[in-house]
Amino acid sequence: MKKEKQPARRPSAKAPKGVSRRGFFQAMGLAGAAATTLAQGGCGSSGGGVDPALQQGVGPDAIDVALKVNGRDVKVKVEPRVTLLDALRDHLKLGSTEPVDLTGSKRVCDRGSCGACTMIVDGRTVYSCTVLAVEAQGRQIRTVEGLSEGGKLHPVQEEFVACDGLMCGFCTPGFVMSAVSCLERTPGATADQIRKCLDGNICRCGTQPRALEAVVKAGARMKGRR
């Protein structure tokens, strides 16, 4: 389709005049998800939109937010303006009824332009710095911490290590989550397809070639070709 051939655009971080912070973030979150989905070759989406309950208005004081992260139910008390990224990184450990340390997703630009904060929500990659925590209620949230099983790293993580696909490592969790989503959606994805999947992730250290190599190898492994 015509729209799928256009390059993924990153949303501007500046809220237009007259637009509330909440409305702006909602638009940014959806745009970020759409951009990443676009980068993944127009894969299908699951849901989206704004919870009608949120239209009623909540806050500005902190409210209880129930999240399902890596298959685990957690509750955190945050103001409605807090992003999903900040809720998990900064509030979960202290404010949760069940303290969990989820700082794997990185806050780098905090404005939907670098991909370091990428998580998978209801099967779609999102920039979690552009999604409000309250919006993520009732959704299946996956972070980089949820990829390993029984202490064994996910094949994508193993290949990042084997291919030396990182330097400072700040971008790496985001790359890994985009890659996992890509290979789950498109088993046997070609290098070109994978490159498009990783379009929304930026590495300032210049490790993109090795990151791509790692994901191609992981894809082959996951398809049982290696």
For the CB of residue 14, give the shortest distance to ligand FES in the complex, in Å: 15
207 belongs to the binding site for ligand FES (CB under 6 A):
yes
User: In terms of CB distance, is 24 or 58 closer to ligand FES?
Assistant: 24
Say if residues 78 and 98 touch (Cβ distance below 8 Å): no
Give least dist CB 69 to ligand FES, A.
17
Q: What is the CA radius of gyration of the chain?
A: 17
Does residue 15 touch ligand FES according to CB under 6 A?
A: no
Nearer to ligand FES, 29 or 80 (CB): 29
Least distance (Å) between residue 147 CB and ligand FES: 18
What is the dihedral angle through the alpha carbons of 59, 47, 88, 163, rounded to the nearest 10 degrees?
-160
- From the CB of 167, what's the least distance to ligand FES, in Å? 4
CB 188 within 8 A of CB 101: no
Q: Give the shortest CB-115-to-ligand FES separation in angstroms.
A: 5
Give the residue with the Cβ less far from ligand FES, 113 or 143.
113
| 81 three-class SS | coil
Report the residue number, 58 or 208, with the smaller CB distance to ligand FES. 208
Nearest residue (CB) to ligand FES, 204 versus 226: 204
Q: Up-side HSE of residue 21: CA atoms within 13 Å toward CB? A: 9
Of the pair 11, 146, the CB lying nearest ligand FES is at 11
Question: C-beta of 160: minimal distance to ligand FES in Å?
Answer: 10
Residues 157-196 that bind ligand FES (CB under 6 A): 166-171
Of 171 and 189, CB closest to ligand FES = 171
Whether residue 143 contacts residue 117, with contact meaning beta carbons closer than 8 Å, is answered with: no
Binding mask 98-137 for ligand FES (x = CB under 6 A): ---------xxxx-xxxxxx---------x-x--------
67, 87 Cβ separation under 8 angstroms = yes
34: its two tokens: 């759409």
Decide: helix, strand or coil at residue 77: strand
> 34-57: string of b/e by CB count within 10 Å (b at 16+)?
bbbbbbbbebeeeeeeeeeeeeee
Q: How far is the CB of 186 from ligand FES (least distance, A)?
A: 22
Residue 192 vs residues 60, 128, 188: alpha-carbon distances, Å: 45, 25, 11
Which two tokens mark 66? 């129930």
Q: Which residues bind ligand FES (CB under 6 A)?
A: 107-110, 112-117, 127, 129, 166-171, 203-205, 207
